[in-house]
Chains A and B, each alone.
Chain A
Amino acid sequence: MQLFPCPFCGPRSESEFHFGGDFGNLRPEGSDVSASEWSAYLHLRANPKGSSSEVWMHMTCGELFRMDRNTVDNTVNSSAELEDTHR
């Protein structure tokens, strides 16, 4: 059982968290978004083998945050509140 560090609640069991996708996968906006741009946002994933920057939600407090971790050995390197710039 992994322990994820919620920046607001501290370390909590993995079962309290929900994976929210790649960090930095920004939503294309506007009326001229092409089908492939939109599909890339919706579907394409970095899915890196190794270091990964991700957005997670701590379901019990409802907060989104960024977590950097390793997808091979499952170590967590850091977690942080989302910056305003990501909004």
Chain B
Amino acid sequence: MTRHYSALSLLKEGLNDQRGWQKAWRSPEPAGRYDLIIIGGGGQGLATAYYLAKNHGITNVAVIERGWLGGGNTGRNTTVVRSNYFFPESVALYDMSLKLYEKLSLELNYNVMLSQRGMVNLAHSPNDLEMAARAVNAMQINGVDASLLSEAETRDLMPLYNDSPTARWPIYGSVLQKRAGTARHDAVAWAYARAADRLGVDIIQNCDVTEFIVENGRCRGVRTSRGDIRAERVGMAVAGHSSALAAKAGFRLPIVSYALQACVSEPIKPALDCIVLSPSTGVYASQSDKGEMVIGGGLDRIPSYGQRGNLPVLEHIISGLLEMFPSFRQLRLMRQWAGIVDVVPDSSPILGESPVPGLYLNCGWGTGGFKAIPAGGTLLAHLLATGTHHEVSRPFDLDRFARGRLIDEAAGSGIAH
């Protein structure tokens, strides 16, 4: 059987009619007990399992997924990875993630197609440009690559941007993070799943957690549609559904679930190289390697668990895009979808022990969980393995709300999430 992925193995399997490839992961039956359980087989949960095995040598681990792995927000986002954040706490988290992403394909022997084509946050007014300068300086001080581009430099990166004198959103300049880019979202989940499976982790799909097993006030496992599974510690990484699961454990979270929609155009030959975000419309776009324009915008403003987008927000996003790129009027919408995101008052994640001892949280990523998968996995693995915070995750503990020490990026930098 062929295990290792390479050009050579593709050549070999090409001559073998592709018949020798090993399963990417097993489909094991759940055991009754593991050292650790992770609820949620998305990118965050699978990365947690991988780093538990790799960084902490803990392999007697189960990842429990209600549906199919990678089927939540990992498979529903716009694939952007970046670390252009304002606060040192955020930079520590997201740049840790980006650095792990930069090595991920080789580390996991799976091409996740990290494509660092740069992300441009536009400034549409003199005031925007002042906020852009504030953001660039913050990033440079915090050790992240960032540059403040002039109008001409910005236009060089996106020649198709509206240059009409009556453009509603003119360019005054922009913030560029060159290391930002995209990664193939499904591949990230599959790469971690395959790597974790190889290290002995059981990934159990189609397994619904119905309740928590709590003994003497401590979480000792979960009841599932496929039987009880017990463990010393339980982690949950179920973006969008964190509150619903927390309710089963008897606590509330500072989270409201909203639908975030995205859409793609039909594929065309290359027309946009970087990722571009307009702060005025919240619209951002990039072109996938397949040629589709991948477009996102703001939240649907109605709390929802329904994974579907509505029409008014779609219309708003598309009209914003066409105002930015008039020649995109030639394109058509091919597919529209939505994911359910955890929206937290300060739009920063929650990492740490829950009010129920033994149950650990990885949630609250808002619209930005995908880019944080390697870091979120590393940090939840650290929490589960040691019971204590990694220094990077400490500021993101649930206790920050009562202390009032929120990490509100929007408040500081004006960069939309």
Spell out A's residues near B (CB within 8 Å): 1-2, 13-15, 17-19, 35-36, 38-40, 42-50, 52, 54, 71-74
Interface-central residue, A19, A49, A52, by most chain B CB under 10 Å: A49
Interface size on B, residues (CB 8 A): 24
**B401–A1 touching, CB < 8 Å:** no
Interface residues of B in 237-254 (CB under 8 A from A): 241, 243-244, 247, 252-254
Interface residues of B in 358-417 (CB under 8 A from A): 401-404
User: Nearest Cβ distance between residue B336 and chain A, in whole angstroms?
Assistant: 14
The closest CB in chain B to the CB of A54 belongs to B303
**B302–A74 touching, CB < 8 Å:** yes
Q: Which single member of B255, B257, B401, B404 contacts A71 (CB below 8 Å)?
A: B257
Interface string of B290-311 (1 = CB under 8 A from A): 0000000000011111100011
In the assembled complex, 17 residue pairs joining A and B whose CB atoms fall closer than 8 Å, in A order, are A1-B310, A1-B312, A13-B312, A14-B302, A14-B312, A40-B252, A42-B401, A43-B254, A46-B243, A46-B247, A47-B303, A49-B244, A49-B257, A50-B305, A52-B303, A71-B303, A74-B302
**A46–B402 touching, CB < 8 Å:** no
The closest CB in chain A to the CB of B316 belongs to A15
**B306–A44 touching, CB < 8 Å:** no
- Report chain A residues within 8 Å CB of B247: 46, 48-49
Docked CA distance A45–B344 (Å): 10
Residue B256, interface by CB 8 Å: yes
Spell out B's residues near A (CB within 8 Å): 241, 243-244, 247, 252-257, 301-306, 310-312, 345, 401-404
**A74–B403 touching, CB < 8 Å:** no
Q: Which single member of B256, B310, B403 contacts A47 (CB below 8 Å)?
A: B256
- Report chain A residues within 8 Å CB of B301: 14, 18-19
**B302–A47 touching, CB < 8 Å:** no
- Report chain A residues within 8 Å CB of B402: 35-36, 38-39
User: Nearest Cβ distance between residue B254 and chain A, in whole angstroms?
Assistant: 4
**B253–A44 touching, CB < 8 Å:** yes
Using known A-B contacts A19-B303, A49-B305, A72-B305, determine if residue A44 contacts B310 with beta carbons closer than 8 Å: no
Using known A-B contacts A39-B401, A39-B402, determine if residue A2 contacts B256 with beta carbons closer than 8 Å: no
User: Nearest Cβ distance between residue B365 and chain A, in whole angstroms?
Assistant: 15
**A74–B306 touching, CB < 8 Å:** yes
Docked CA distance A23–B256 (Å): 14
- Report chain B residues within 8 Å CB of A71: 257, 303-306
Q: Which single member of A2, A38, A45, A50 contacts B254 (CB below 8 Å)?
A: A45
- Report chain B residues within 8 Å CB of A44: 252-254
Docked CA distance A46–B257 (Å): 10
User: Nearest Cβ distance between residue B349 and chain A, in whole angstroms?
Assistant: 14
Docked CA distance A83–B243 (Å): 28
Docked CA distance A54–B252 (Å): 16
- Report chain B residues within 8 Å CB of A47: 243-244, 252-253, 255-257, 303
User: Nearest Cβ distance between residue B61 and chain A, in whole angstroms?
Assistant: 27
User: Nearest Cβ distance between residue B313 and chain A, in whole angstroms?
Assistant: 9
Docked CA distance A47–B248 (Å): 13
The closest CB in chain B to the CB of A49 belongs to B244
